[in-house]
Amino acid sequence: MSLINFHHSDRRGQLDLLAELEQEFRSFREIVILCIGTDRSAGDSMGPLVGTMLMELYNGACVYGTLENPVHAKNLEEVYQDICRQHPDAYILAIDACLGSIRSVGSISFRREPLRPGLAVKKELITVGHASLIGVVNIGGFMEYLTLQNTRLDTTYRLAKVISGTVAQALIGRVSFQAVSATYV
């Protein structure tokens, strides 16, 4: 069940997501962003695009999964174990692309529940994160691998841009909130 669901062009949805992420992030000392996907598929590259854009927008972000070092089905379990070992008390936000109905293409959903990557392509992968952000890149239901390969890069890019920008703003807001709070303590 989605807590927040909106089309990437909906500014009100972006602001709602920002407010929700800022609220989620404030309770944790460390935030880890886990961006899942591969740079070898236009549809499945949303996660690595988000990771790369996020690193460019906010240099202090703790990000796993970029275009240079993607986190995908073959290394997800190992990377996730490393994250849990190196950041045992961190809040982990997992980000991935997904397939959906024709009406949901271009939408972004935030859920306060772990991410179950690989569902669109019927892969059994581990569940990851405390919360999840997903972007619907194309229509699901038939030949999912081919659909991800033939997804418009423009849709993937637009979703990645909104998600990375909103997450970066929430991280920056968290740092500002902590600095102000420390001043008054």
Asked if residue 113 belongs to a domain, the reply is: yes
Asked if residue 185 belongs to a domain, the reply is: no
Asked if residue 181 belongs to a domain, the reply is: no
- Print the domain residue range for 81: 4-173
Asked if residue 183 belongs to a domain, the reply is: no
- Residue corresponding to tokens 């569940």: 127
32-44 pLDDT, tens digit per residue, is 999 999 998 888 8
Asked if residue 178 belongs to a domain, the reply is: no
Picking from 93-97, 107-111, 141-145, which range would have the lowest pLDDT averaged per residue? 141-145
Interior CA angle at 15 toward 21 and 64, to 5°?
Answer: 40
The CATH number of the domain holding residue 57 is 3.40.50.1450
Asked if residue 32 belongs to a domain, the reply is: yes
| H helix intervals, 27-143 | 46-57, 76-86
pTM of the model: 0.90
Please state the domain count of the chain: 1
Average pLDDT estimate for 90-116: 94
